[in-house]
Amino acid sequence: MPRNRKRFCRRYLAILIMAVVWLTSGGAPEVSANDEETYKGLKIFSDVIDLIEKNYVDPVDSKDLIQKAIQGMVNSLDPHSQLLPPEAFEELQIDTRGEFGGIGIVITMQKGLLTVISPIEGTPAQKAGIKAGDIIIKVDGESTKEMMLWEAVKKMRGPKGESVVITIFREGETDPMDFTLVRDIIPIESVRYMTLQPGYGYIRITNFQENTTEDLNAALKALEHGKTPLNGLVLDLRDNPGGLLNQAVDVSDVFLDEGNIVSIKGRMKRHTKSFDARPDRVKHLYPIVVLINGGSASASEIVAGALQDHRRAVILGTTSFGKGSVQTVESLRDGYGLKFTIARYYTPSGRSIQAQGIVPDIEVRLRHIDEDATSDERVLKEKDLRNHLDAVPFPDEDASSPADRGKEDSDAEGRDQPADSRYGPLDRDSLQSDNQVMRAVEILKGYQILTDVRS
């Protein structure tokens, strides 16, 4: 496109935006002070773009500048709001489905480094020997130094059968290591389970996606129809970063027959909702211990908070992450999306856990048997994030009537996760050396003994 035409289009766009601001005020000749400030701000923005485009030492891409400006504006609101380019928007949608083409690793940005949390069992990455803690420094020869997390994910995902080369740095090795991986279909498995001991089941939920509640019910059915009647359940939500709000509500509803599960309160009336439990056809009457830690965030905090307030479960572990906000994703033109915060959520008793977290009923720090307890302080939490929202007391006015299960996203992005992962396969020996898991089993056994004594 010729430069003059590009400038004309950009200036026309700025004028159009200003006109929209004017029209949204009713088109009245008397403009409010707020609208006047908005108009001035847009004019300054247009002037800056014009000056940079004319005078900057190197040629610039106006579209790229505008996109970065919007991203900066949105990022200044809170850590979980962001503009999603088409590729990132697509990846976000994939993350809530059942499978995708890729190499099978869970990654995060840890201290600015693209770090492997864990390889997923049975995937190309796991078979090739990728390990938790590996730092990915290149993808197909391109440095990950300035790469955003979604960009790295996009580069490593792709059609089944195509290869990708990742270069990693591993502690203890002197030179970087290249791995050529052939992509495969990667199932996203959010629920895993096993019988820990006769009569005592264990279920791990790693995140909340579209089929989580369905998979949970299948796991419960398998555990409850074992050789020994189920006397207690350990529900592990440690290092669960969240996911879909409706799945958090439905998972809570599996164990509750009545009462409020969570309320969300936003500035707009349509963002104020209350979600209540419904009577269940299948009753799960055995006691439950829920495990949480500093990596338990958002949707997992909704579940823990609901079961704690209704005294349906004992919460054990360490204080959770503290993300008490709800995000929604709106589609924009040209494949873009806008993820932004619309509400704070409150537990049934009216607690806002934003930047505070769920405090366990019984605090037990993680350690392996015969080892010293490890500190949870190393985990970055919501209160440590730049521009985090403050907790706000539950409003006095009543929330709206129970609403249909929404699909707002309550994922906890933008935080560093510990390299210790819950995404790997279940291993009975490992679980039995986990002091938090075994403490939970002891509590369940104690409850059973007391129940037998009373009867």
Choice among 15-24, 48-57, 327-336, 393-402 with the minimum mean pLDDT = 15-24
- Calculate mean pLDDT across residues 188-213: 92
Residue 259 has pLDDT above 60, yes or no: yes
Indicate the helix (H) or strand (E) that contains 233: strand 232-236
DSSP string, 273-290: EEEE----SS---S-EEE
Residue 73 has pLDDT above 50, yes or no: yes
Q: What pLDDT score does 386 carry?
A: 63
Q: What pLDDT score does 32 carry?
A: 59
- Calculate mean pLDDT across residues 60-64: 88
Tell me, yes or no, if 298 is annotated catalytic.
Answer: yes
Residue 378 has pLDDT above 70, yes or no: no
Contacts of 136 (CB under 8 A, 6+ apart): 107, 114, 115, 116, 144, 152, 166, 167, 168
Indicate the helix (H) or strand (E) that contains 301: helix 299-309
3-state DSSP call for residue 443? helix
In 272-423, the DSSP E strands lie at 273-276, 288-292, 314-317, 325-331, 337-346, 362-363
3-state DSSP call for residue 236? strand
- Calculate mean pLDDT across residues 213-237: 95
Q: What pLDDT score does 455 carry?
A: 59
Distance between CA atoms of residues 43 and 91, nearest Å:
34
Q: What pLDDT score does 438 carry?
A: 96
Distance between CA atoms of residues 379 and 5, nearest Å:
51
Of 154, 265, 273, 323, the active-site residue reads 323
Residue 413 has pLDDT above 50, yes or no: no
* Tokens (6 digits) for 439: 């403490």
Whether residue 327 contacts residue 408, with contact meaning beta carbons closer than 8 Å, is answered with yes
pTM: 0.73
Whether residue 230 contacts residue 223, with contact meaning beta carbons closer than 8 Å, is answered with yes
Residue 210 has pLDDT above 80, yes or no: yes
Tell me, yes or no, if 455 is annotated catalytic.
Answer: no
Residue 142 has pLDDT above 70, yes or no: yes
pLDDT grade for 84, boundaries at 50, 70 and 90: confident
Whether residue 337 contacts residue 92, with contact meaning beta carbons closer than 8 Å, is answered with yes
- Calculate mean pLDDT across residues 204-222: 94
Distance between CA atoms of residues 245 and 268, nearest Å:
18
Contacts of 63 (CB under 8 A, 6+ apart): none
Burial class (CB in 10 A: 0-12, 13-18, 19+), 334: exposed
Choice among 36-40, 135-139, 198-202, 409-413 with the minimum mean pLDDT = 409-413
DSSP string, 136-199: EEEETTEE-TT--HHHHHHHH---TT-EEEEEEE-TT-SS-EEEEEE-EEEE---EEEEEEETT
Residue 265 has pLDDT above 60, yes or no: yes
Residue 41 has pLDDT above 70, yes or no: yes
Of 309, 409, 411, 434, the active-site residue reads 309
- Calculate mean pLDDT across residues 191-216: 94
Closest CA to 70 of 101, 49, 93: 49
Of 81, 118, 190, 298, the active-site residue reads 298
Contacts of 176 (CB under 8 A, 6+ apart): 137, 138, 167, 168, 169
End-to-end CA distance of the chain: 83
Tell me, yes or no, if 309 is annotated catalytic.
Answer: yes
Distance between CA atoms of residues 371 and 374, nearest Å:
9
Indicate the helix (H) or strand (E) that contains 336: none
CA 54 from centroid of its chain's CA atoms: 42
Choice among 130-134, 260-264, 408-412, 413-417 with the minimum mean pLDDT = 413-417
Residue 97 has pLDDT above 60, yes or no: no
- Calculate mean pLDDT across residues 312-326: 93
CA 197 from centroid of its chain's CA atoms: 31
Closest CA to 137 of 101, 173, 163: 173
Which one-letter amino acid corresponds to residue 361?
D
Q: What is the pLDDT of residues 278-302, one digit of tens each?
A: 987 788 999 999 999 988 888 999 9
Indicate the helix (H) or strand (E) that contains 320: none
Whether residue 305 contacts residue 358, with contact meaning beta carbons closer than 8 Å, is answered with yes
pLDDT grade for 319, boundaries at 50, 70 and 90: very high
* Dihedral in degrees, nearest 10, Cα atoms 227, 231, 237, 242: 80
3-state DSSP call for residue 95? coil
